[in-house]
Amino acid sequence: MPALTRYFSSSYAQARERFLAGAQPVAALIESYAIDPAGSQGEPLATDVALIGDADARRLLIMTSATHGVEGFCGSGCQLALLDDAPMLERARRAGVALLLVHAVNPYGFSWIARTDEGNVDLNRNAQPFDGSPLPANPGYGDIHGLLLPPEWPPTEKNRRDIALYLDKHGQAATIQAVSRGQYTHADGLFYGGGRHAPSLLNLRTILRAHASRYAHIGWIDVHTGLGPRGHGEKIYAGRRDDAEVARARQWWGSDIAVPYQGTSASVDITGHLAGLIYQACPDAVPTLMALEFGTLPWEGVVHALRGRNWLRAHPEADEALRRDILQATLDAFYCGQEDWQGMVLGQSRVAVLQALCGLEAGG
């Protein structure tokens, strides 16, 4: 049995190379969708797509990685393991299910060790209409923005005290809501949803229209990290507010699937999340959507890392040692390199894929 570590890469460039090499022998189609900026090693950046399956398949399972950039170290590993999983690929073929693996939805963040894209946009808050209608308000964010992004990093004692006071006054639940629900008012802030569609989001929409819209039934697993207990994969319903869709997701993935709009998830209820693109891009499909969210560090540690990363974005003059520290802290918040964690991730990812295949086969 080969070591699991072979599926997990140490850079975006390595992950991309391995994904393309792994897809080559099994995919019917491989395509790349570039974005303009270069990567941290000067490499070109692209979202790569591998479609596996027969041309007459009527059901599709999508697996996406790196919607949140740096979280791609985990999701890419899940995709590489699936490409190498001959029994599972055969199982999909027999079930009449094609597989669409979308590698590095946000290649900029993957390469530069950031959760957001080149414009500091959180792609999972960016699928808004941007047609002049009001964007979701998050007045609480403005109150805490200045504390989250202090002038100095690491934060001063005073900043730590002020944040503790804020938490005392508002409580942790309200603070998590204000920080992470998404905001459209502070372009340098955390969980910023943008003011227009991001290039990587537009690429994904093009990919869905080109490669997913002809299927009658679509399952989607979007792999994330950074919320929940270490190594635990929380299954988070990612579709719209629709009881039939929730019921179908429960039937596929189990009654423990968490539903943010019902308050049963570690994730806050967000709008503008990426999976929502499916409703416009594939209007005739019956979709069943899930984010698979693997835990790393406690929430406070993850937010601290995100604050540092946004501070670094705003302070390119930071010295090399501090820059390295911040990037390492960001990586540690969204990816655990230990083999036990990797094993937990791949085991749960494999179960989720198998469950989706069974669900698609039964329903299509």
Letters for 222-261 (x = contact with Zn ion by CB under 5 A, - = none) are --x-------------------------------------
Of all residues in the shown chain, the one whose CB is closest to Zn ion is: 224
Buried b (16+ CB within 10 A) or exposed e, 180-198: bbbbbebeebbbbbbeebb
Token digits for 15?
């992950």
The string of DSSP codes covering 34-89 is: EEEEE-TTS-EEEEEEEEES-TT--EEEEEE--TTGGGHHHHHHHHHHHHT-HHHH
CB of 103 to Zn ion, least distance (A): 16
Within 74-93, the residues that bind Zn ion by CB under 5 A are: none
- Applying CB under 5 A, does 125 fall inside the site for Zn ion? no
Q: Look at the chain and count its residues.
A: 364
**Closest distance between Zn ion and the C-beta of residue 341, in Å?**
16
Is residue 309 a contact point for Zn ion (CB under 5 A)?
no
CB closer to Zn ion out of 71 and 234: 71
Spell out, one character per residue from 199 to 228, where the chain touches Zn ion: x when CB under 5 A holds, - when not.
Answer: -------------------------x----
- The residue type of 42 is G
326 sits in which H/E element: helix 320-334
Minimum Å distance from CB 225 to Zn ion? Answer: 6
Give the C-alpha separation, 87 to 92, whole Å.
9
Q: Which residue lies nearer to Zn ion by CB, 67 or 138?
A: 67
**Region from 1-9, 60-68, 105-113, 179-187 binding Zn ion, contact rule CB under 5 A:** 60-68
Per-residue buried b or exposed e for 121-138, using 16+ beta carbons within 10 Å of the residue's own CB: bbbbbbbbeeeeeebeeb
> Can residue 307 be called a binding residue for Zn ion (CB under 5 A)?
no
Closer CB to Zn ion, 53 or 228, in the complex: 228
For residues 155 and 226, which CB has a smaller minimum distance to Zn ion in the complex? Answer: 226
| Residue 270, both tokens | 């967000």
> Min. distance of Cβ 293 from Zn ion in angstroms?
7
Contacts with 91 (C-beta within 8 Å, 6 or more apart), sequence order: 354, 357
Would you count residue 186 as binding Zn ion (CB under 5 A)?
no
Residues that bind Zn ion (CB under 5 A): 68, 71, 224
